[in-house]
Amino acid sequence: MEEKDIYAELSSIRNLMERSAKFISLSGLSGVMAGVYALAGSAIGYKIVYGNSKSLAYREHYVNDAYITWKLIAVALAVLILSLGTGIYLTIRKARKNKQEFWNPGSKRLLVSMAFPLVTGGLFILALLSRGFVEIVAPASLIFYGLSLVAGSHYTYKDVKWLGIMEIALGLIAALQPGYGLVFWTIGFGVLHIVYGSIMHFKYDR
């Protein structure tokens, strides 16, 4: 067997092992769409909290109002559902295009590794809301989401890790700037997702 044939066979084996160990069917467009949904949700959230005012001054009497809080929660849930639905659809489409299974050992490990930080963060945020600590919700959501991305990056593209690190850093900065949670939430879930999704699309989807 010639040397080039050996290298080709080794490369084929390595790719096969990577496909079985990691989930590499994530769609970059799903990240872009998640960012678009987040920007739309941020615009609606701004309207709910600030109305027609152009000021970003912290309005504690608004965000602590139960009616306002539930409206913001509804917007956030809508963004989450749309993002998950679009992400699953586009990822399944990419997997089929690449003749891969969507539900495989790699995707299962990815889901489990991301679930622990996300579920923990979700319960922590509910506890914050029950105690009236609304100003910490946005930083907490960014930090726990970033932790889930870092954890999940071991089972998919390494680029996901860097997005997670940026989300964590942004969440920590937001924690030091109470009253500007909506701004940091918009950057983290909106702008960063669009940038990340665009990079992933041109790097892996084409």
pLDDT in tens, 94-117: 778 777 776 777 777 878 888 899
Q: Are 65 and 135 in contact (CB under 8 A)?
A: no
Range with lowest mean pLDDT among 23-32, 83-92, 122-131, 160-169 = 23-32
Q: Distance between CA atoms of 133 and 127, rounded to whole angstroms?
A: 9
Sign of the alpha-carbon torsion through 56, 61, 62, 66: positive
pLDDT tier at 23 (50, 70, 90 boundaries)?
low
Range with lowest mean pLDDT among 8-12, 49-53, 76-80, 88-92 = 8-12
Q: Are 190 and 21 in contact (CB under 8 A)?
A: no
pLDDT tier at 190 (50, 70, 90 boundaries)?
very high
Predicted pLDDT of residue 10:
47
**Over residues 33-53, mean pLDDT:** 87
Predicted pLDDT of residue 13:
45
Task: Tell me the domain boundaries of the chain.
Answer: 30-205
Predicted pLDDT of residue 87:
84
The DSSP 8-state label assigned to residue 136 in this structure reads G
Q: Which residues of 131-158 are buried (b: 16+ CB within 10 A; e: fewer)?
A: eeebbbbbbbbbbbbbbbbbbbbebbbe
Q: Distance between CA atoms of 124 and 116, rounded to whole angstroms?
A: 12
Cα–Cα nearest to 188, from 76, 78, 53, 70: 76
Q: Distance between CA atoms of 110 and 63, rounded to whole angstroms?
A: 35
pLDDT in tens, 132-177: 788 888 899 999 999 999 988 888 778 888 999 999 999 999 999 8
Quote the distance between the C-alpha of residue 129 and its chain's center.
21
pLDDT tier at 84 (50, 70, 90 boundaries)?
confident
pTM: 0.79
Q: Across the chain, what does the average pLDDT equal?
A: 80
